[in-house]
Amino acid sequence: MVCGNMEVEVFRSFIDNLYDNNDDKVGDAVVTLKNAVIGSQRQKDTIIEQGVLARLVHLLVDPDISSKIKTDVVYILSSITNGSDSNIKSLNDVDIVTILLTGLVSSDEKLVSACLSCLRSLFLTQSNDLQTGDHDLDLLDLPTPRGGAVLHHQVIFGDPAVVPHLVNLLGCGAFHQIAVCDILSSCCRTTDQQNTLLTADLAKALSSVLSSPVVGVQLSGLRCLAELVQHNETVAVATASTIGSTGKALLSQVVQFTGREYGEDIQLAASRILTYLYRLGALPTLPGEPEPGVITYRVLPCLVRMCKKEEGVENRILAADTLAFLIEVNADLQRIAAVSNRLISTMSSFLRLEPESQEPRESGLTRLQLTRLTCRMEQRVASEKEMRRAAFRVFASLGANDEDIRKKIIDTEPLMDCVVTALDDPDGRVQMSAIRCLHSLSRSVQLLRTTFQDHTVWEPLMKILGLPNAKVDSLVVASSTLCNLLLEFSPSKERILESGAVDLLCSLTHKYDPSLRLNGVWGLMNMAFQAEQRIKSQIMTTLGTDQVFRLLSDTEIHVVMKTLGLLRNLLSNKHHIDHITNIYGKQLMQAVVLILESEHSPDVKEQALCILANIADGDSAKKLIVDNEDMLKKLTSYMLHNNTKLQIAAVVCIQNLIWRNDEGSADRQSRLKDIGVFKILHQLLTTSDTTLFEKVKMALQQLTM
C-alpha cells in the first residue's frame, strides 16, 4: 500500500509540473510522462482520466512553447494512439489530426518527423479498421472507425494546402517518404480524392520515391501508387504516361519491381498497380496481343505464386483478391490461371487452413497472457474467414466462362459446403463472394443438374432475396443465380416455385435498381418457359397487367426485351394461349400496339410481332387479331417494311392466322384477302432473302381459294 501511495504521489508531482510556468519544469515533466506512458496501458488511461490530455494539447498549440517540448508531447500522443479504443476516441474528440497537421509546417525537423509518425499511426489504425481485403469498397457503408471518429481523410482533404505540402515532404528523407506514402495510402478513398492527389503531382513525386534504394520506401511508394490508380481511369491513364524528374517512365519503374530479385511484398505491390492499370485499359498493348505481355508473363504468375502457403496470410489474401480482379473479364487469362502452378489446389487450401501448433491451456495464464491469446485466436478466425472469401472470388473469376474449369472447381473439397455455409454468414463481404462464386458455377448445365440439386443452394439465395435490408449488389448477384436455377433443365426449378419464387421475382420487378427489375423479369421468363398453365396463370395474376405495361415502358431496353420474352413464353401452347388471352387478351393486344407504335429498334418490335404470331397460333385467340382492323393494317405495313426481320415476323403471324387445318381458316383467309394480304404475299415472292421467301411460300400454300 505504501508503494502504491508513493507511486501516486510521484505521478501527481510531475503532473503538477506540467502546469508550471517554468519551461524547464514543464519539459522535464513531459519527458517523465513520455517515459512512463510507453508500453503502459494503465498510464495511457491515467492521462485521459486525469484530464492531462487537454494540457498536452494546449502545449502543442501554445506558440510560446519550445519545439523540443512539443516534440516530446507528440511522442506521448503517438504512444496513446497504440492504446485502447477509448484512448483513440479521446484523441479524436480534441481533433488531434488537425493539430498535428499544423505541426508539419514547423521549421524543426524533429517536430515534423514526430507529427508525421503520430499521423501515420492514427491513419494506419483507421485504415486497418476500414480494410476490406476487396477491390470494391462501398464508401457509403464504411464500418465505424476506432473511437467513432470522423474519417481522418476528410480532414486531410478539407484544407487545400495540406495535400500539396504532404506531397512536397516526399522530397525529404526516407522516414518522411514512408510516413507520407502511408498517410496518403490510408486516406485515398474516393475518385475526387484520387483526382486531387494527381493534381498535386503525386504520381511524379512517387517516381522519385521509387528511385530510393531503401526497400521500405519502395514498398510504401508502390502501395500508395496502387491506391492512387485503383478504379480511376483518368488517374490511371495519366499515371501510365508519367515521366519522373529523373527522366524515367513511372510505368517502367513499376514493371521493374515485378522482378524476382525483389522481395515478395514489393512484387505483389507492383503487380497490384499493373492489374489496376490493365483493367482500366491504361497499359499499352502490342498489335495482335490480347493483353500486354507483362500481364501474362509477370503479373499473373506473380499473383498465383503469392497465393502459395509459403507466403504470409495477409499477402496470400491480397494476392488472391488481386488475381480474381485481374482475370475476372478475360477468358484467356482465366484459362492460363487455371493451369498455373496448381492454382485450384492452392485455392482449396484457403478453405481448410492447417491447425496451428497446440495452444497453451487457459488455466495458469496471467491476465495479460490470456488477453494476448484471445487476441491471437480472434485474428486467426478473422484470417480464416478472409481466406475463404478470397478463394470464393478467385473461383468465381476462374469459372466465369469455361465449363472444364468449372468441373475442376466443383471437384474441389470442401468448396460447396463452404459456399453454402458462407451464404448465411453475417459478414456481407463473405456472403457476397460466396454468391458470386455460386453465380459463376450456376452457368454450368451439368452442375445445375447435379451438384446444385444435392446442396439445395436455392434456399439461402431466396432467404437473401427476402431480406428487407439486403444490399443491392447482393440482391443483383443472388437473383442472377436464381435465374439460372430456374432454367427448364434445372431439377431445382419445381422446388423453387413451391417456395414462393413467383411472388419474390414479381416484387423484384418493382425495385428502383434496373438490374433487379431485369433479373425479376428474367427469372419469370425462365420460369414460364414450357411451364404448366397453372404456373403461367400465377405469373400473370401476381405480376398484373399494369406492371407489364410499366415494364414495357421501362427506360432500360434490356428490361423491355425480357418482358417481351416473358410474354412470348406465357403465350405458347395453343391451350395456354387461349386461356390467357381469354382473360387478358385486350391488355396483351394493347401491349403489342404500345411497342409497335414506339420508337424502339427493329429488334424490340420483332419481339412484339412474335408475340402477335403466338396469339395467332391459338384457336380462339386468333379472333383478337382478325377482328381488330387497326392491328391488321399494322401487320400489312410490317409485311412491306424495309427491315427483313420484321417482314418475316409479320408473315409468320399471317401464316398462323390462315393455317388451313385450323377451324374457321376459310373465313379468316377471305377476310385477309379483302384487305390485300395475299397480294402482298405474292409481291414478296420476289425477295432475295431465302428465309423470307420460304415463309411466304409456306403461307401461300395454306390458301384454300
Higher pLDDT, 129 or 274: 274
d(CA 258, CA 587): 63
CB count within 10 Å of CB 159 equals 12
Most confident of 74-78, 316-320, 413-417, 622-626: 316-320
Sign, Cα dihedral of 25, 27, 28, 29: positive
pLDDT, tens only, 25-54: 888 888 888 888 887 778 888 888 888 888
In a domain, 362, yes or no: no
Asked, for residue 704, whether it belongs to a domain, the answer is yes
| Region 115-128 average pLDDT | 82
Pairwise CA distance, residues 691 & 663, whole Å: 27
Number of domains in the chain: 1
φ, ψ dihedrals at 492, nearest 5°: -75, -15
Distances (CA, A) of 318 to 285, 325, 469: 26, 11, 29
**Is residue 432 situated within a structural domain?**
no
Banded pLDDT at 354 (limits 50, 70, 90) = low
CATH number where 633 lies: 1.25.10.10
Q: Which residues of 60-96 are buried (b: 16+ CB within 10 A; e: fewer)?
A: beeeebebebbbbbbbbbbbbbebeeebbebbbebeb
pLDDT at 400: 92
% of the chain exceeding 70 in pLDDT: 90
CB atoms under 10 Å from CB of 697, counted, come to 13
Q: Provide the residue range defining the domain that includes 604.
A: 576-705
Tell me what pLDDT residue 149 has.
Answer: 38
pLDDT band with cut points at 50, 70 and 90 for residue 412: confident
Share the mean pLDDT of the chain. Answer: 87
User: Which of 137-146, 353-362, 394-403, 524-533 has the lowest average pLDDT?
Assistant: 137-146
Domain membership flag for residue 587 = yes
Q: What is the pLDDT of residues 539-567, one digit of tens each?
A: 999 999 999 999 999 999 999 999 999 99
Q: State the pLDDT confidence band at 140, using cuts at 50, 70 and 90.
A: very low
- Is the residue at 214 inside a domain? no
How many C-beta neighbours within 10 Å does residue 352 have? 13
Q: Is 689 within a domain?
A: yes
pLDDT score for 353: 65
Q: Does a structural domain hold residue 286?
A: no
Instruction: Reply yes or no on whether the pLDDT at 363 is more than 90.
Output: no
- On whether residue 496 sits in a domain, the answer given is no
C-alpha distances (whole Å) from 389 to each of 377, 408, 685 are 19, 19, 61
Least confident of 210-214, 429-433, 466-470: 466-470
What is the average pLDDT across 267-296?
85
